[in-house]
């Protein structure tokens, strides 16, 4: 029998947890499940943002606010329940980008800048708070794609 990698095991556990407990009903709030209100996001409200997690932190940025394509990026601390603005995404401001985490780095690429679909890709290092441009996505320009990582690949 083939052994599961840590990534496969983690994904399996996440799926099981989601399926078995994501919206369990509480007697006093049966119409809403067990959602908890958390800190209000400190940045500009937006649609089509890109997000990834590294360690115990969530990261979110880019997107569209109805008037402008955005390049700001934020870190959420779930233990402290607060947001911290991080280094702005240095590529073209965009919406509908895709992101994933691999080996402790966040990766973000593709998307739409209001005129063009994009193919560029970038990595984010949370230890240095810096973005580094990588090779363009080999599949060409696109927006609203799906991204994931597993077995050391994104």
User: Residue 129: inside a domain, yes or no?
Assistant: yes
Condensed to tens digits (0 to 9), the pLDDT of residues 36-78 reads 889 889 999 999 999 999 999 999 999 999 999 999 999 999 9
Higher pLDDT, 14 or 122: 122
Condensed to tens digits (0 to 9), the pLDDT of residues 7-32 reads 554 555 455 444 444 444 445 556 66
User: Residue 32: inside a domain, yes or no?
Assistant: no
Q: Give first-to-last CA distance, the chain, whole Å.
A: 26
User: Residue 5: inside a domain, yes or no?
Assistant: no
User: Residue 11: inside a domain, yes or no?
Assistant: no
* pTM: predicted TM-score of the whole model, two decimal places: 0.76
Domain count, the chain: 1
Range of the domain at 80: 41-144
Percent of the chain with pLDDT over 70: 79
User: Residue 8: inside a domain, yes or no?
Assistant: no
Distance CA 154, CA 143 (A): 17
- Of the pLDDT bands very low, low, confident and very high (cuts 50, 70, 90), residue 143 is confident
User: Residue 2: inside a domain, yes or no?
Assistant: no
Residue pointed to by tokens 């702005």: 88
Q: What is the mean pLDDT of the chain?
A: 85
User: Residue 52: inside a domain, yes or no?
Assistant: yes
Distance CA 31, CA 34 (A): 9
User: Residue 75: inside a domain, yes or no?
Assistant: yes
Q: How far is CA 127 from the centre of its chain?
A: 17
């Amino acid at each position: 029998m083939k052994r599961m990698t840590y990534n496969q095991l983690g994904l399996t556990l996440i799926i099981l947890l989601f399926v078995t407990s994501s919206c369990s009903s509480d007697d006093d709030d049966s119409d809403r499940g067990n959602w908890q209100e958390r800190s209000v996001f400190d940045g500009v409200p937006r649609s089509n943002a890109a997000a990834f997690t590294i360690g115990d932190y969530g990261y979110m940025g880019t997107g569209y606010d109805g008037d402008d394509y955005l390049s700001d990026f934020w870190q959420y601390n779930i233990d402290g329940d607060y947001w911290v603005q991080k280094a702005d995404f240095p590529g073209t401001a965009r919406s509908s980008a895709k992101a994933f985490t691999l080996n402790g780095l966040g990766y973000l690429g593709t998307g739409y800048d209001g005129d063009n679909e994009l193919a560029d890709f970038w990595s984010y290092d949370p230890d240095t708070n810096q973005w580094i441009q990588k090779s363009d996505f080999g599949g060409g320009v696109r927006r609203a794609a799906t991204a994931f990582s597993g077995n050391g690949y994104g």
